[in-house]
Structure 1
Amino acid sequence: MLSKEDERLLSMLRANARTSISDLARMLNLSRSTVQTRIDRLEQTGVIKGYVVEYGQKFVSTLVSAHVSIKVKQKLTTKTNVELKQIPQISELYAISGEYDLIAVVQAQSTEQLSHLLDDIGNLDGVERTTSAVVLETKFKR
């Protein structure tokens, strides 16, 4: 179970993972060594998996996003998932119920790049068919 200090520390790291240990310690009113020990423990116990780059709004607003529904040959599901994971423009992949087996969230720098990306996905061994929905506008994101 996380302490209140751990929860506050995680909240601060989610807001800016590059905040220095000294600044975190100051904001939490704890010593630097205590904060470092807490971070180490949170990493070792798997609460913190890693640190990622968050794109700036200016860059994100130039990307073309799409949700790609993918029907996969059942015997090739694992192979297809591994190949999809190798495509850097796929940010998320979900297994779903219904007519399609997967939904991939893709981001491209242009509609032309998106078109090539969709062709690449459709041509993967194990992919039977795809359907794409281009995101026109994000109403909100949490």
Structure 2
Amino acid sequence: ISDLARALNVSRSTVQNRLHRLEQSGVVKGYVLEYGSAFLSQLVSAHVAIKVRQKLTTKTNVELKQISQISELYAISGEYDLIAVVQAQSTEQLSHILDEIGNLDGVERTNSSVILETKFKR
């Protein structure tokens, strides 16, 4: 809060009061930890497209949520049903995670793309 107050050239109490009002009004729901670029640059990231067997979508989503290296999961249109964002410590760990995803009962097939470089992120 102190850094934010300095950046905005206002008092710390002004920032605290404004944040409190935003929280109370429902504009701000909560806060999340966002990893810095120094940490993220050490990870191997991949987008994994997942085709799910019919009638196993809910079960598969629950199982995918249990894999801590999956940071995001999106339902998509097209040939595949889901896209998972996977972040691993190494290519070896990524390979194990891809095997784990592919071996789930509800997963029919996957297609993975390793992220080589982030051009920009908003």
TM-score higher than 0.5 here?
yes
Residue segments in structure 1 that go unaligned for 5+ positions in a row: 1-18
Partner of 1:129: 109
User: What is the SS of the residue equivalent to 1:62?
Assistant: coil
The CA deviation at 1:28 is 6.1
* Structure with greater helix percent: 1
1:1-142 correspondence runs (5 A): 19-20=1-2, 24=5, 27=8, 29=10, 32=13, 35-142=15-122
What is the alpha-carbon distance in structure 1 between the residues aligned to residue 12 and residue 41 of structure 2? 40
- Deviation per CA, 1:92-136, whole angstroms, max 9, x where unpaired? 111110010000011101000000011111112211111100111
> Which residue type is aligned with residue 5 of structure 2?
L
Change in CA separation of 1:68 and 1:38 when aligned onto 2, cut-off 3 Å = same
Residue segments in structure 2 that go unaligned for 5+ positions in a row: none
List, as ranges, runs of 4+ consecutive aligned residues in structure 1 with deviation greater than 6 Å.
none
Q: Percent identity, aligned pairs only?
A: 75
What is the alpha-carbon distance in structure 2 between the residues aligned to residue 26 and residue 59 of structure 1? 24
Give the count of matched residue pairs. Answer: 122
Work out whether residues 2 and 12 of structure 2, in 8 Å CA contact, stay in contact via their aligned partners in 1.
Answer: no
Larger RCO: 1 or 2 (CA < 8 Å, sep 6+):
2
Q: CA RMSD in A?
A: 2.3
> Which residue type is aligned with residue 129 of structure 1?
R
Using structure 2 for the length normalisation, give the TM-score.
0.84
What is the alpha-carbon distance in structure 1 between the residues aligned to residue 7 and residue 34 of structure 2? 25
Partner of 1:10: none
Partner of 1:13: none
| Larger displacement relative to structure 2 (101-110 or 84-93) | 84-93
